């Protein structure tokens, strides 16, 4: 199937009270693992790359990898730019065939965030590409973007104003999660999802899920999160697979040998998180 945009995927999730899992990938092997398991479980899926990831290679390279893999299955797959850090990068991703874009202006002031996000939304609407924005600060560090140690959870009234003024198709909100690995037990404000949902009609997005208990993730989805992002957990899984092979036999030199081990570990993570999102058999 050809790549699809994320708009209808998230609207379907919003209507039917599940979330579309969104997995950040760093290489071909991780993308292979995600799409294989999503296809087996009949789950719609977003494949994501961050601004740091595409600097490692290029937007075109990652888009071509995911596009070719998506064409081999019959589930809906969207190619998403996660935490786009500039207007220029967001527009370039659209030109290179990405079918979903996040512009992250959460580290700016409210007015600056509105202005940046709206500028990307205007281009996205002209191109038929849905745009995700972010309001409030998710803690921790996501590649080049640092949310700091303290979280600034999203204010519901500000969220309503932000959506109205920018026209975003989906909104990532801060509820106490953090990017990367948690230093302690995360304090997740599930009630805030309900509060934002009362005032905002676009699908809501959960970032910083690695390390959050599965039951809490389920609560967040039931409360109204329509897209759940996974990044660090996949990186750890892939790396663990590679390390195990090289530990058992340091003389291994064929990348396919440890690549397969990394794929297997990522597949386990993807399978688990599709269950948590209630997205199985939703394709």
Q: Report yes or no: 187 and 139 within 8 Å, Cβ to Cβ.
A: no
**Can 82 be counted among the known catalytic residues?**
yes
Our CA angle for 240, 65, 247, nearest 5°, is 20
* Catalytic hit among 82, 151, 155, 169: 82
The phi and psi torsions of 3 (rounded to 5 degrees) equal -60, 140
144: helix, coil or strand?
Answer: coil
16 vs 27: CA distance, rounded Å:
32
Q: Which residues contact 91 (CB under 8 A, 6 or more apart)?
A: 120, 123
Sign of dihedral through CA atoms 55, 85, 214, 201?
negative
- Give the tokens for residue 281: 């058999």
Cα separation values, 109 from 112, 134, 167, 196, 261, Å:
5, 12, 18, 20, 44
102 vs 90: CA distance, rounded Å:
8
Sign of dihedral through CA atoms 243, 145, 4, 226?
positive
Q: Percent helix, strand and coil across the chain, each rounded to 5? A: 50, 20, 30
Residues belonging to the active site: 82
């Amino acid at each position: 199937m050809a790549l699809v945009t994320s708009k209808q995927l998230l609207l379907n999730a919003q209507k039917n009270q599940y979330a579309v899992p969104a997995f950040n990938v760093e290489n071909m092997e991780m993308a292979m693992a995600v799409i294989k398991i999503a296809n087996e479980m009949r789950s719609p899926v977003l494949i994501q790359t961050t601004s740091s990831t595409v600097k490692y290679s290029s937007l075109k390279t990652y888009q071509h990898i995911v596009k070719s893999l998506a064409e081999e299955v019959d589930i809906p797959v969207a190619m998403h730019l996660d935490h786009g850090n500039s207007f220029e990068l967001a527009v370039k991703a659209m030109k290179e065939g990405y079918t979903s874009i996040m512009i992250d202006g959460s580290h700016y002031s409210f007015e600056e965030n509105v202005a940046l996000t709206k500028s990307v939304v205007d281009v996205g609407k002209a191109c038929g590409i849905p745009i995700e924005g972010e309001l409030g600060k998710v803690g921790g560090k996501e590649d080049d973007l640092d949310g700091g140690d303290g979280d600034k959870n999203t204010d519901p009234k500000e969220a309503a104003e932000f959506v109205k003024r920018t026209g975003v198709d989906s909104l990532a909100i801060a509820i106490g999660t953090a990017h990367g690995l948690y230093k302690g037990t995360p304090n997740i404000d599930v009630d805030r999802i309900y509060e934002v949902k009362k005032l905002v009609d676009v699908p809501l997005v959960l970032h910083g899920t690695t390390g959050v208990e599965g039951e809490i993730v389920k609560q967040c989805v039931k409360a109204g999160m329509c897209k759940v992002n996974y990044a660090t957990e996949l990186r750890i899984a892939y790396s663990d697979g590679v390390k195990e092979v090289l530990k058992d036999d340091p003389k291994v030199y064929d990348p396919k040998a440890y690549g397969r081990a990394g794929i297997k570990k990522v597949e386990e993570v993807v399978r688990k998180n599709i269950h948590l999102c209630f997205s199985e058999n939703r394709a």
